[in-house]
Amino acid sequence: MKKYLLIIFLTVFFSFSGFPQLAKYSNEFLSIGVGARSLAMANAQVASVSDVTSGYWNPAGLVQLSAANQVGLMHAEYFAGVAKYDYAAFAMKIDTASAFSASVIRFGIDDIPNTLDLYDDQGNVNYDRISKFSAADYAAIFSYARKSPVRGLHYGANFKIIYRQIGNFAKAYGFGLDAGIQYHLGQWRFAAVGKDITSTFNAWTYNLTEKEEDVLLSTGNELPDNSLELTMPRLILGGARTIKISNSFSSLIELDMNISFDGKRNTLIRSRMLSIDPGLGLEVDYKKIVFLRAGVGNFQEETDFGQKTTTTFQPNIGLGICIKNMIHIDYALTDIGDQSIALYSNVFSLRVDFGKNP
């Protein structure tokens, strides 16, 4: 774990020098996704989501809650358990036409050794001087949705509060807005979501002791300045269709297009102005009790040591079960077959429905 210190500490600290700056991958912990159902379907969700996770994916879906109240929980671990990812949310119907939700997300790496004080004033190594710190990102999302007078049309918005912390060395506060719509037409569902529509910002402040500054300067690093990091808006377009297979079986398929406007990214479709990352998800259910899911997304180009370029992708699968129309337990296995640069992740989530509909 010691080797993670300088990588995380220095990379994060000195990638934010400038005021303000547009960061292409700012607040990326908010792009991972929530809910094992969603992750199993490669994050293709904005058109079909209709539960408590709508507060994350598309707030417009909250008006389709199957119960008056819902609670959602999720835990996942990444990079062989180094990083922990947790999510909790509560949603409720206000009346027959509107709904509200509150969601909390944490993505963090804990117990990182701080070796900046490894040497004492005489230059001797003293392992008792090693302390530990956490690098964690937090987000609180408050969502509101309402049915439109137009039949089948729903709309909603999110207000996000972001807090990011790297031990006692640095912290940032940020705010942002999302907005989304859904339109249901027979067996078809369409959606559009604007993420960070006003450009979400993180205001970073740094707190280094004189000795820590000396260590950084003596190792050839620059001291960080307080800065403002901006996250550019994104647009997600989605379309889904439900298909009845028989009296017992039905299916849903959704295709989403995640469009970013911060320059060329390593995505399937890209240009100098925008990049498009598609995701395709499939769900098959038996009497709405057992669900089998699969998805593919995260298409990227990789170049090997022989300069050969190949296109990789991330396939996912998952399973869900509904108990007495109240308890929903979902599981997702992401990056099966190691087709992308990520590592295997086992994701579990729980959803509980309760209360009578208004």
- CA distance readout (Å), 206 to 116, 176, 241: 16, 22, 49
Overall number of domains in the chain:
1
Closest listed residue to residue 96, CA positions, set 137, 130, 61, 147: 147
In terms of residue numbers, what domain contains 328? Answer: 2-354
- Between CA 141 and CA 162 the distance in angstroms is 9
Tens place of pLDDT for every residue, the chain, 358 residues?
Answer: 333 333 333 333 333 334 455 555 678 888 889 999 999 999 999 999 999 999 999 999 999 999 999 999 999 888 777 888 999 999 999 999 999 999 999 999 888 887 767 776 677 777 777 778 888 999 999 999 999 999 999 999 999 999 998 888 888 999 999 999 999 999 999 999 999 988 888 888 888 777 777 777 777 777 777 778 888 889 999 999 999 999 999 999 999 999 988 777 878 888 888 889 999 999 999 999 999 999 998 888 877 777 788 888 889 999 999 998 899 999 999 875 554 444 568 899 999 999 877 7
Which value, in Å, is the radius of gyration of the alpha carbons in the chain?
A: 22
CB atoms within 10 A of CB 133: 19
CB atoms within 10 A of CB 112: 22
- Between CA 84 and CA 87 the distance in angstroms is 10
pTM of the predicted model, to two decimals?
0.83
Torsions phi, psi of 50, nearest 5? -150, 25
What CATH number is associated with residue 181? 2.40.160.60
